[in-house]
Structure 1
Amino acid sequence: MYGPAEATIDCTVHRIHVTSTIQSIPIGSPLSNYRCMIMSEYLQSSATNQEGELCVGGAGVFAGYLGRDDLTAKVLVEIDGDLFYRTGDLVTMDNNGLLHYQGRKDHQIKLHGQRIELGEIERCLLNIISISACVVMKWNDDYLVAYVQSSSHINEEKLREHCQSHLPPHMIPSFFVILDKLPLNLNGKIDRKLLPPPDLSSSSHTHDNNVPRTTLEQQLQDIFSQAIHIESPDVEVPFGQLGGTSLSAIHALTLIRQQVSNKVQTGLLFTNSSIRQLAQAIEPILALEELQETASEVNEIHGTDVQRT
């Protein structure tokens, strides 16, 4: 059974067969005296298999929060003349009319143009045996920070490698903060307000081996610095994790074509996401251009000699 307190605890139900091999258990369908609507962010009804916020209407919907009319106004909405409670839960409905829970609306963020479900990153990290609790947050509107509770000697490098093998680049946290115990509030839930900010000075972003090694890397670092407004960005951190957006990527590509080579294609920038990777991909292009230029000069000299004879 599923349901929030604001809908008198239970509003949907699904019978589970013990012998079933199904791996994803739906939250089911509404009880007889309830209605469930799946609404988009614009409060428009979502189609089958399309994710949206679950709104619950019916006999058990509460009248509001005592003395908090402001909160009540945010969570109660009128649909088709009936009052519905906005649960904040993201769900989909399959072809059989069954609701499937996808996550929390307030834990879904937009970072650098990408929608990210923070719970998906947390579940990935919790698959590591030594991690007993985890919470991922957006920090400073530009970065993802993962706070993990672990009693063993796990380090940031191992956590990053685990995420890189299971998550797309834009979902890999920029910082990992390892704590003996995550702070809890009076209800025993993780108190996000008490989580410490990431320590930039101790981050792997400051390691000496992450500074430019070649003139080309230095040139690209200067370009990335202009495009994403970060002084001396790390040459081994992916563009997205540095705070890069689609607009700043276009800016960076324009500068690269002006200052390095006009033959660098858009795909090269996105398939080689860090400065170091991009430098390695551009080096053959510059070498080919140098050969072509040398051959052209030789041909010009040879042509001049022929004319003189």
Structure 2
Amino acid sequence: MLSRERLAAGTNPHKEPQFTTSGRTEAVASFIQQRIWLHDQLYSHSSDLSVYNILVPLIIKQGSLSIERIRSVLLTLIEQHSVLRTAVRFNPQSNQIEQYIQAATDEIYSFQHSRNINTSEQLDQLLTKESTGKIFDFEKGKVLRCHIVQRQDDNNTESLLYENDIIALRFHHITFDNSSLMPFIKAFKQIDLTNEQQSIFSVSQYIDFAIHEQMLLADTNIDSKMNKVRRYWSNLMDGYDWNRIQHFVPDENKTDQVRSGRAYSIVLSFDESIVDAMISFASSNNLTMFSLSFACYFVFLYKLINMDDDNLCVRSVLANRPKQEMKDITGMFVNLVPYRMKMEANNSFEYLIRKIPELSSNVLEHSCLPYQQIINSQDQQNHQVLPSTLFQYESLVSSVTAKNNIESSTIEGNYVLAVYFDRD
């Protein structure tokens, strides 16, 4: 007989673990941290370049800003956002990849000051090096770098930044994603405005997300959130031949390959007339630009392989911040998810675009399962053959909007900061 509580709760009384502030300084690394750590072990010795740098160049648009003040604000940010001083390394005793919050000191981040960067070519070279160079040591918690770029002559001895000077902030991807940018800039402005420092654990930290993720995954109840999500991915990917990667990567089945750490990225940019036509089509068919672009990408791949295979699978990235408490946390939350689509040559493009939004909605709803577990659920543990293509849609409109959101705020009336986008 069901208890009164069970009847009152309905047929599914199970409650998932709550996202709480733990105050912990050590924990198992999140799954995305583990994946980046493993990738670094595989490729760190094969190249002098890093694909895990996130560069945020800020330009002084108006007024002046003390370099000493910048260092003070950064140290306060590192104190408040513990992920910016978190080491990720393998623990041989527990046989796990773990994270350890370090003390906030001047040595926990990298700082450099360059002067007399007068030309756009010099600035472009400097920012390119910042974007691709290796400098971080995330196993010791050094995941943030600040490079001050003064564009005036060397006779400026005031230690002040003025209009067109640059604050180039660089983060390791293991500790920062694109959704962290606005919360970070917001915190930067707030600290400089109020001169207040919150208690280190007065708000949720990234380590709390990792702990919450582990609790969700460990919940064995048949009606738990993660078990429902596991069933979805098992059904979606059931019967998929993961070796279809060979269609896109010639000679992928060779056994004498050496991991180079290299990858290829192709950017498909469309001129204004095509974008206008796509916007009009999307609007008239009640579609998002993401759905329309994704449908076009599936058709592109289908044509690329001469329609020899009608069962396509493409990866894409999702922010993976489903709870409100996660939206203002600095950290790496992004998850990879596969989109599997059955192409039907006899059906129209209109038919395809009706399927994409439904697929996207279902994938988004079940996107909290770490990519490693999605793959493992398909018995891919032994060979780990992954889908080769990754689709990312980025609108220039969203970039301009983000720029304006930052540029519109003046701190204490002394200066205006904006993200430096244009390097032409």
Q: More strand by proportion, 1 or 2?
A: 1
Give TM-score, length-normalised by structure 2.
0.19
TM-score (structure 1 length as normaliser): 0.24
Greater Rg by CA: 1
The higher relative CO (CA closer than 8 Å, separation ≥ 6) is in 2
